[in-house]
Amino acid sequence: MTGRYLEDFAVGQIFHSGPLPINEERIKTFATEFDPQPFHLDEKTARDTIFGGLVASGWHTAAITMRLLVESDLRPAGGIVGAGFDEFRWLRPVRPGDALRIEAEVVEVRPSRSRPDQGVLKVRTTTLNQRNEAVQVTVGNLVVPRYPKSSGQESTQE
Amino acid sequence: MTGRYLEDFAVGQIFHSGPLPINEERIKTFATEFDPQPFHLDEKTARDTIFGGLVASGWHTAAITMRLLVESDLRPAGGIVGAGFDEFRWLRPVRPGDALRIEAEVVEVRPSRSRPDQGVLKVRTTTLNQRNEAVQVTVGNLVVPRYPKSSGQESTQE
């Protein structure tokens, strides 16, 4: 797997993805498997709920965000491996016909103390719809490998 | 929709779900759509990655957790409507053949100041495998309706 190592990242870098449309049929099939609630399954029933109409499951939005992150120009060596989030919010519902894209900003680059071969990349990922409204914001921690060291050299920074 | 109102919840209540198995085929089809990375797609290639073998996408685990939450005895009136998370961590990989279940503990019940008809339920949801090892922990905030007030009565607590 090729890609960027920890040393290739710097605070303030922003990575992008193209837009991905989300349609009514896929909203319903995703929800049938993972989030079978009326506001994700049926337009008519959804009108009488807090959302006032059919909306995608937040987990569908989160999963699409992951897809967009994989397709973006972020490309850490070793893949996108998440440990968890400092922040995770859904800001607006996603509705049939919306198209989502992401902006991923590097907010911290931190070598690991216990694992000299890797570090943590903290990334704020904003998922936007076709009106450039943020629908989801996360601040996540990715495990990213460091450049392999030349052998026989001891680091003094562990 | 029937279910529990904010007043029906109390700190310390724990809700459960039955187990749901996760198999290799579904791990791969989910990943193909949402998280197309080698460690989720191919057993052989996965051996040389950080996971040492095929693992489910964290988003697959998160989506299954949502399914288990919907099927659990939590059942808030108006459905499970999440605003976001205070905490979100993946603790262990999920592998083909694992079976997941959840324990959801109420950690806070808070009436809304701005919306007297609803409140926030803070829930710590632990997703466990068949060896009772936690694979995911989240602390999330759900929007839950309060019991409808009798008309003509003003609350002094808004």
Mapped onto helix, strand or coil, the DSSP state of residue A115 is coil
ipTM (interface predicted TM)? 0.90
Pairing state of beta strands B82-90 and B134-145?
antiparallel
pTM for the model: 0.92
Distance from CA of A7 to the nearest CA of B (A): 19
Please judge whether A82 and B33 are an interchain contact, meaning their C-beta atoms are less than 8 angstroms apart.
no
Would you state the pLDDT for residue A150? 59
- Give me the mean pLDDT over the A20-41 stretch: 97
Helix-, strand-, coil-residue percentages of chain A, each rounded to 5: 25, 35, 45
What is the reported pLDDT for A158?
Answer: 41
Q: Are strands B20-21 and B99-111 parallel, antiparallel or unpaired?
A: antiparallel
Interface test with A, best of B37, B47, B65, B86 (most A CBs within 10 A): B37
The answer to whether the Cβ–Cβ distance between B67 and A33 falls below 8 Å is: yes
- DSSP 8-state assignment for residue B142: E
Which residues in chain A have Cβ-Cβ distances shorter than 8 Å to B35? 63, 66-67, 70
Residue B158's pLDDT is what? 41
Alpha-carbon distances, residue B150 vs A7, A54, B111, B117, B146 (angstroms): 62, 30, 17, 12, 12
Crossing angle of helices B24-34 and A58-71, rounded to 10°: 70
Mean pLDDT over A72-99 rounds to 95
Which of B49, B58, B85 lies at the smallest CB-CB distance from A88? Answer: B85
Q: What is the mean pLDDT of residues A108-128?
A: 96
Q: Which of A50, A84, A88 sits opposite B84 (nearest CB)?
A: A88
Identify the contact set of chain B against chain A, taking CB-CB distances under 8 A.
1, 30, 33-39, 49-50, 57-59, 62-64, 66-67, 70, 78-85, 87-90, 143
Quick one: average pLDDT of A72-92? 95
Query: pLDDT tens string for chain B (158 positions)?
Result: 579 999 999 999 999 999 999 999 999 999 999 999 999 999 999 999 989 999 999 999 999 999 999 999 999 998 999 989 999 999 999 999 999 999 999 999 999 999 999 999 999 999 999 999 999 999 999 999 999 875 444 444 44
> Using CA atoms, how far apart are residues A60 and A67, in angstroms rounded to an integer?
11
